[in-house]
């Protein structure tokens, strides 16, 4: 087995454990490269099927191509697609792009709060109806007790501390100092009522692993990752107003891989283009404790 085979098998093993051990499970899909690879791994784990609902948190500021790509794949791969959003904040317009909030406040509302309340069922969920080809209000408000997330350990400091199966308490809190032990392919699959578990099948993958896997498996990626002739592309995706492109002429997966291996990005962190990481020394960890991915 080569390096990618090993990563693939471990991730599939984790996805299957999660599927068997949790009754109410979902997978967060941001439409970015990591969670799309995770989705692909789920199709492999379940032999072409995805028996787990996919949850997308739609801030309404997502770059439009992302939503298009999401719905295209949802149709093509027959996905059980669900989205949720902070309808109140959006209605009131209390967002950063409106000048009514700071970066972190805006992320806190549109991402963290929306995620928390979509997962626990406090807020509305919209589910894709394949027959009608539209999203409709979902009756199911059951809280998800297992949430599969595409975080990678190499992204930044706080993520390197995660477990494959990482508990969150009633308040969605993450006690970094007191995490369960995890060894011999045995994971925390037992949990007290009211708590839930985050599951991280991609924890051991690096950014380059992800791209090499996309290359090997020919996984369809949203076009934003590639230069469309203007010498710019996204390296990391998020909300339009807060995610910057990088200067790059990589227009294919092969070129992205080559650029990461030998080019100018081989020594620059991936989230460099994300504003919220810089605003506060430990900002991301704070967001992370609150549930932000």
Q: What are phi and psi of 211, to 5 degrees?
A: -70, -35
**Shortest Cβ 106–another protein spacing (Å):** 22
Judged by CB under 8 A, the residue of 172, 179, 223, 249 near another protein is 179
Q: Is 160 in the site for another protein (CB under 8 A)?
A: yes
Residue the block writes with tokens 């996309």? 214
Determine the interface stretch with another protein among 29-37, 48-56, 66-74, 223-231 (rule: CB under 8 A). Answer: 48-56
d(CA 107, CA 239): 9
Burial group, residue 193, by CB count within 10 angstroms (0-12, 13-18, 19+): exposed
Task: Name the 3-class secondary structure at 14.
Answer: helix
What secondary structure letter does DSSP report for 156? S
Q: Is 203 in the site for another protein (CB under 8 A)?
A: yes
Residue the block writes with tokens 């948190």? 57
Q: Is 208 in the site for another protein (CB under 8 A)?
A: yes
Q: Of 237-276, which residues contact another protein (CB under 8 A)?
A: 260-262, 266-269
Determine the interface stretch with another protein among 10-18, 68-76, 93-101, 235-243 (rule: CB under 8 A). Answer: 10-18
Q: Is 94 in the site for another protein (CB under 8 A)?
A: no
Q: Is 130 in the site for another protein (CB under 8 A)?
A: no
What is the DSSP code string of 208-228? HHHHHHHHHHT----GGGS--
Q: Is 220 in the site for another protein (CB under 8 A)?
A: no
Q: Is 181 in the site for another protein (CB under 8 A)?
A: yes
Contact residues for 177 (Cβ-Cβ < 8 A; gap 6+): none
Determine the interface stretch with another protein among 58-66, 135-143, 207-215, 225-233 (rule: CB under 8 A). Answer: 207-215
Token digits for 97? 């792009």
Q: Is 155 in the site for another protein (CB under 8 A)?
A: no
Q: Is 140 in the site for another protein (CB under 8 A)?
A: no
Strands (E), 58-104: 81-84
d(CA 158, CA 175): 12
Please say whether the beta carbons of 59 and 110 come within 8 A: yes
- Of 96 and 128, which CB lies nearer to another protein in the complex structure? 128
Chain positions contacting another protein, by CB under 8 A: 1-6, 8-10, 12-13, 16-17, 19-20, 43-49, 51, 78, 153-154, 156-158, 160-161, 163, 176-177, 179-186, 188, 190-192, 203-204, 206-209, 212, 217, 260-262, 266-269, 281-282, 285
């Amino acid at each position: 087995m080569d390096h990618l085979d090993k990563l693939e098998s471990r991730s599939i093993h984790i996805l299957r454990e999660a599927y068997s051990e949790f009754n109410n499970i979902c997978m967060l899909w941001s439409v970015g490269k990591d969670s799309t690879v995770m989705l692909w791994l789920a199709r492999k784990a379940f032999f072409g099927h995805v028996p787990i609902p996919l949850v997308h948190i739609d801030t309404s500021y997502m770059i439009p191509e992302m939503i298009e790509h999401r719905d295209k794949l949802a149709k093509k791969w027959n996905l059980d697609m669900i989205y949720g959003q902070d309808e109140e904040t959006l209605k009131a317009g209390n967002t950063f792009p409106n000048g009514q909030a700071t970066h972190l406040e805006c992320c806190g509302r549109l991402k963290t709060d929306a995620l928390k309340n979509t997962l626990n069922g406090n807020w509305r969920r919209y589910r894709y109806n394949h027959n009608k080809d539209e999203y409709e209000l979902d009756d199911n408000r059951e809280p998800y007790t297992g949430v599969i997330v595409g975080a990678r350990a190499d992204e930044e400091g706080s993520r390197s501390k995660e477990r494959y199966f990482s508990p969150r308490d009633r308040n969605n809190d993450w006690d970094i100092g007191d995490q369960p032990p995890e060894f011999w392919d045995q994971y925390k699959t037992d949990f007290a009522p009211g708590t839930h578990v985050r599951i991280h099948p991609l924890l051991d993958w690096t950014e380059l692993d992800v791209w090499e896997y996309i290359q090997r498996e020919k996984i369809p990626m949203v076009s934003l990752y590639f230069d469309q002739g203007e010498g710019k592309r996204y390296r990391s995706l998020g909300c339009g107003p807060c995610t910057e492109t990088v200067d790059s002429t990589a227009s294919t997966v092969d070129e992205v891989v080559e650029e990461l291996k030998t080019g100018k990005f081989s020594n620059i962190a991936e989230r460099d283009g994300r504003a919220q990481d810089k605003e506060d020394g430990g900002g991301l960890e704070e967001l992370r404790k609150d549930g932000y991915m």
